[in-house]
A and B are shown apart, each in its own frame.
Chain A
Amino acid sequence: MGIEQIFAAIPWETIIIQTVNGIVTGMILALIASGLTLIFGIMDVVNFAHGELFMLGAYIGVVVITTSGSFWLALVIATLVVALLGAALQITTLRPLLGRDPLTTILATFGISLVLQNYALWQFGPVARKIQEPFTGYFTLFYLEYPWYRLLIAALSAAIIGAFWLFLKYGKYGVWIRATTQDRVMAQAMGIPVPWVHTGAFAIGAGMAAASGVLFGPLVGVNHAMGLDWILKAFIVVVVGGMGSLGGSIAASIFISLLEAYASIWVSPAQAGIVSFVVLILTLLFRPTGLFVPTPK
């Protein structure tokens, strides 16, 4: 077989479509994972309940849309409500654990995730709900009618992450967050109210998870177990990207989502999920500090 034949055998159109798909899911994943990274980086808390915050955000979106009819109002309200909920959870369960073994925070947040997940099942029932897209335009991508909304998700996620980055870089409270991440004790000595910075960071992370829940809602049904898939992927992304590195987890999100999108050309989506597991294992074997961070000295 000549080079030309191999070249012709590659389904270019499918690959391009899957590239677009991969980038869209990658941006959603990046939005979830950056909240997780923020929380991990600043207080060494692996937030098992992050997927449930994502799920609750989507449900609050459903409720607001059915009452008010506005998608954008739903996005804002879900973000704010879940951010407040995150702050409350942090104050009641994580603050007492500060200074204890980081593993206890895994246990506490695992407990929170069980409670939230069953609460959603109790409140909203097992039937998946649907969020209506804010607009339903299509454009033609080869043989597909591709919805504009998907591209909008990617753009909005990028905008939220960008705003968050600017906030961390230039905002007063953003500087507080970075200072606390670098050295908790020194930040305290400089007069930064560290416990409240922790609460604030947790709230921001929770709000970002909720926003991605509302944005992603129209693509899949909203149900009580939707957080589980995402939390595992977000963990993988955070480890592959290098724990606590924001840029690393964004790059890893897109990288892994692209790989999964390409894999699902040939195998079922459930099996394509294994690709991300394999990436994780290889990362842990050959570069345990993360793929997308500079080599530590």
Chain B
Amino acid sequence: MSKRSATVYWTGFAIILALLIVAPLVLPEFWRRFVTEILIWGLLAMSSDILIGYTGMVSFGHSAFFGLGMYGAAAALLMVRPPNLWLAIVYGLIGSAAIGLFVAYFSTRLRDIYFAITTLIFSQIFYVIIFTWTEVTGGENGLSFRRPPLAIPGLFSAPFTAETLHWFVLAVVTASYLILRRITQSPFGMVLQSIRENEPRTRAIGYAVERYKIVAVMLSALFAGLAGVLYAVQNRFAAPDFVYFLVSGETVIFNVMGGIGTLVGPIVGAGFFLLLREAFSRFFTEYYLIPVGIIFIAMVIFMPQGLLGFMRRWLNR
């Protein structure tokens, strides 16, 4: 990256970050919550961008990782007294990592459409298990719990307010973005991108493609699980609906709308989708997916690069 281009990039980054930091102080209650939610869904979409945009594998099973993050957090918050935020994150990450390893091991043997269908069916397996295992998961009703305080052990502990929750989510999402950006630019990320461009050639050069794919899926699962933990903390419940494959479908929609292979694109896509949902809910009530679905189809046909696709090269430098 040239020096000037780097300056422009980091200036833009700082401005957007500053706007997001100020947002909860100036926005009314409804929109404050809305922005926080965009960030969480954006993190989920960003995690799946690692697979879709950088490795060229479309996962239709991200709801499983997201949901296991939620249930992991729920387990920590319900079983351990007093509830601890960091323990919730650790449990959520362990849950999604375990599922991630399982899914990655089987599904990375397949490519393209087969990979998509396999991940979809895996997520449905976990959905059925969570839905029917009522004693542990609460079945259809899910689990609800109290929100843990924001605490650093030995330093301070304060209950979450709407502002601090937003800032906490923003901090996690920003850190995840920087980590993922660093990873995609690392030699490991370069191998992933070369798998996307030409898998046989990457294999011929001597990279163990399968191992790279497994790590990519697991990495993606970890960040999706993190998004699940944040969502659980924000909404104080975990429900099987979030493991259902429609959530995975929405994740893919966020990616395609925002522009795959850009990391920030999926966040923009999540924002765009949620805004469309808000706008159309006014006229179509719960049938908002009719116009949003039509817009999505039109974007797939006429705008396959998504909203931020035109910045793709520049964002990845």
Contacts and interface: CB of A to CB of B under 8 A. Distances in A.
A285 interface: yes
A112 B297 contact: yes
Contacts of A235: 117, 120-121
Contacts of A103: 58, 112-113, 116
A277 B125 contact: yes
A117 B287 CA distance: 9
A110 B109 contact: no
A112 B125 CA distance: 24
A236 B304 CA distance: 28
Nearest to B244: A228
A186 interface: no
B110 A118 contact: no
A279 to B, nearest CB: 11
Interface string A21-60: 0000000000000000000000010100000000000000
Contacts of A239: 114, 117-118
Contact of B110 (A93, A236, A277, A288): A288
Choose among A46, A102, A114 the residue with the greatest number of B CB atoms under 10 Å from its CB.
A114
Q: How large is the interface on B (under 10, 10 to 19, 20 to 34, 35 or more residues)?
A: 35 or more
A86 to B, nearest CB: 15
Is the interface on chain A under 10, 10 to 19, 20 to 34, or 35 or more residues? 35 or more
B293 A112 contact: yes
Q: Is the interface of A mostly helix, strand, loop or mixed?
A: helix
B106 interface: yes
Interface string A261-280: 00000001011011001001
Contacts of A288: 109-110, 114
Interface in A102-125: 102-104, 106-108, 110-112, 114-115, 117-119, 121-122
Main secondary structure of the interface of B (DSSP, over half): helix
B285 to A, nearest CB: 9
B124 interface: yes
Given A122-B287, A281-B106, A284-B106, A115 B294 contact: yes
B98 interface: no
Contact of A104 (B131, B292, B300): B300
B300 A232 contact: no
Contact of A114 (B109, B118, B131, B289): B289
B117 A111 contact: no
A96 interface: yes
Interface of A: 44, 46, 93, 96-97, 100, 102-104, 106-108, 110-112, 114-115, 117-119, 121-122, 232, 235-236, 239, 243, 268, 270-271, 273-274, 277, 280-281, 284-285, 288
The 3 lowest CB-CB distance pairs between A and B, nearest first, are: A115-B293, A111-B297, A114-B293
16 contacts: A97-B300, A103-B116, A104-B304, A106-B60, A107-B253, A108-B297, A112-B293, A114-B249, A114-B293, A115-B289, A115-B293, A115-B294, A118-B290, A268-B132, A270-B132, A277-B121
